[in-house]
Amino acid sequence: MTVSSGTTWGPEARSGRPARLHSSDRGFPRCALRRSPDDNGPVARDAVVMRILVAYASKRGATAEIAHSIAWTLRDCGADVDCTAAAGVPSVAPYDAVVLGSAVYMKRWRAEARRFLRKHAGALAERPLWVFSSGPTGPPAADKPAWTEPRRTIQRAERLGARDHVVFGGRVPADAHGPAARAMANGTPAEYRDRRDWDGIRAWAHGIAAALGARVS
């Protein structure tokens, strides 16, 4: 996997604060995500902008940055996107679709992401849902899928109708704390300390947009 160059992040992405992204923030989108006002008829000229929630559970910020990249891509497709920490979401009722992601440690999603699935289970089952995990670092040949794809959590998401689950590479924190974290950082070759594939992340987000009816250019 490679990391694309030239990626910039707003202050919300760097700080981890919730970011509200609007399709009208800049320029005309390359694709359009609209739904008819009554959710039944064909998309009309007066169609409303589709609202999407991108929620995440991140420990060191790497997963949050992935979530923001997904949110910006969906925004470029014309959606009205909220990108925020999963623990701070009171309801998913205002949204037409949901994307949920979590860092994975020792075969487990973070607790706040697991609670999100339980708390909002009923509403999630009624709307399109996508999930992603973030975690693998180091040489790809040494990856152990069982450690990065928490079976029970993904099964729960699938029962709720999740349309896809993907595992993205993670990032070794530069400010590792504790002997174990420092040993992992020191033992990871520099070229594999950040395995987030930004092109792959954006492509996955475009796939979501396409599944929701956008014409992606």
Whole-prediction pTM = 0.73
* Nearest of 59, 66, 53, 56 to residue 21 by alpha carbon: 53
User: For each of the chain's 217 residues, which pLDDT tens digit applies?
Assistant: 322 322 223 333 333 333 443 333 333 334 556 554 555 444 444 445 789 999 999 988 889 999 999 999 999 999 999 999 999 999 999 999 999 999 988 788 999 999 999 999 999 999 999 999 987 554 566 666 666 678 899 999 999 999 999 989 767 666 655 555 555 555 556 555 577 889 999 999 999 999 998 755 5
Beta bridge partners of 132: 101, 166
Residue 36 has φ and ψ, to the nearest 5°, of -70, 150
Q: Where are the domains of the chain?
A: 11-211
Element (H, E) at 85: strand 80-85
pLDDT given at position 42: 42
- The fold of 11-211 is Rossmann fold (3.40.50)
CB-CB neighbours of 210 under 10 Å: 14
Residue 89 has φ and ψ, to the nearest 5°, of -90, 115
CA distance 13 to 217: 26
Pairing mode, strands 51-57 and 34-35: unpaired
Q: Please list, residue by residue across 135-144, b when 16 or more beta carbons sit within 10 angstroms of its beta carbon and e when fewer do.
A: bbbbeeeebe
Burial label, 57 (beta-carbon count in 10 A; 0-12, 13-18, 19+): buried
DSSP secondary structure code for residue 171 in this structure = B
CA distance 185 to 187: 5
